[in-house]
Every structure is written in structure tokens, then in C-alpha cells.
Chains A and B, each alone.
Chain A
Amino acid sequence: LPQTPVRGTNLIKSLKCFGMNPEDSILKRVESLGHIFKKKFAEAVGQGCAEIGSQRYQLGVRLYYRVMESMLKSEEERLSVHNFSKLLNDNIFHTSLLACALEIVMATYGRTASQSDGTSAETDLSFPWILNVFDLKAFDFYKVIESFIKVEPSLTRDMIKHLERCEHRIMESLAWQSDSPLFDLIKQSKEREGQTDQPEPTST
């Protein structure tokens, strides 16, 4: 949870100002995604490392809260809007933001982890492992990366490069998987185009 009680109350206070009560939804989601993350981490690395998974998750959650607060403040300035209840009630937004924070933690603490019981199986926990853990579409993860980098000054150059590589990988392949929300976006924009100009003659 937030680094210090004071900081936590600031976040909760600003979330309330932005139009939502964080206790019920954000905290519940952090808790339930935490169970999933720790389970998947332990499955991947071994039960002996469950505590490590838990610590990594807590670091990710702290970063998630900090970036969320900075992001909302930046949006408030940019849009001169105070109510973000629609965004704050968007489950995919929160899951993507938390996944991005966790990806940074996982990349920071190393890419592979050998099994805790000493077997040689190496498990690659680097991107896109976190997408599979939360069953998150790559394109939804992609949508938070640039804003995350914009509002989080503490990211190292290496980490920014890592996130950029994630972006490229998503745009080059992961976003084009059959169930990607990118296709819906393309369809919608085509339909919007279709409404603005005449339909093409069937011959073309």
C-alpha cells in the first residue's frame, strides 16, 4: 500500500476529489490481483519464493498508486476537469497501470528466476509474462506506457528503454493477435470514415 500513511491519505483524498470512493473498488482490485500475481509467481518460480513475489507485488502497488495520483493531477491540469470517475471506474485502466508498474519492478529485479527447489527450469518473468498473469490485452497495456513515462520522473533511462521495447513488441506483433481490441478500434474508425465520405464503388 502507499509508502506512508500521510501519502496514502493524500491519494485517497485526491481520489475522492476526482469523483470516486477508492476503498471499495481500487483496494479490492489490488487485493484480488495480488492473489493472482502471487499465485502465478509461486507457480513460475516455486513456493519457496512466494514471499519474494509478495514483496515485488507490494513494490508494484506503491508505484501504481504514485503514478495514478500523478497521472490524475496531470490530466486535471491538461483538461481542467476534476471528475475522473469514468476513468477511475475503468477496470482495464487500473489493471493496465498496475501491470505496467509491476513490469517495471520485474524488469528491475531481473528477468529470470530459477526454480526455488534448485531444478534447472528457468522461468522467464520478463514481458509479456505480466500480460498473461492478468489476462490483459497487449494493446490496453500499450495505452498506459507513454503517460506512465511522462508523469514518473524516477524511471531510469534503462527502464524507459525497456518500456519502449515493450511498445515496439506490442505494435509489431502482440497487438495484432486475433482477440486484440485494436481491431475494434480500426473497425470503429473505418465506420466513422464510412459515414464521412461516399461508399467506395463495389468494383474497387
Chain B
Amino acid sequence: PQDYHFGLEEGEGISELFDCD
């Protein structure tokens, strides 16, 4: 969606956010 400001950087996703990478 164009007007949502995605903030996660390259290499960041749900696995990293929950320390499961």
C-alpha cells in the first residue's frame, strides 16, 4: 500500500522482531 510508511529495514522481519532469526 503506497501510503503506508514501511519502517522495517532490509533484513528485518517478523522473525527478527520476535528474536526467532
Contacts and interface: CB of A to CB of B under 8 A. Distances in A.
Interface residues of B, number: 14
B1 A147 contact: no
Given A79-B15, A79-B21, A92-B18, A146 B7 contact: yes
A160 interface: yes
B3 to A, nearest CB: 7
A26 interface: no
Interface stretch (A4-12, A45-53, A83-91, A117-125): A83-91
A161 B3 CA distance: 8
A147 B13 contact: yes
Interface string B1-16: 1011111100001110
Q: Is the interface of B mostly helix, strand, loop or mixed?
A: loop
B14 A93 contact: yes
Nearest to A146: B8
Contacts of B8: 146-147
A90 B21 contact: no
A78 B18 contact: no
Contacts of A90: 18, 20
Nearest to A71: B14
B18 to A, nearest CB: 5
Nearest to A79: B15
Interface of B: 1, 3-8, 13-15, 17-18, 20-21
A84 B15 contact: yes
A113 interface: no
Interface string A93-119: 100000000000000000000000000
B15 to A, nearest CB: 6
Interface in A151-183: 155, 157, 160-161, 164
A87 B7 contact: no
A75 interface: yes
Given A84-B15, A160-B1, A146 B20 contact: no
Interface string A51-95: 000000000000000000001001100110100101100101100
A28 interface: no
Contacts of B3: 157, 160-161
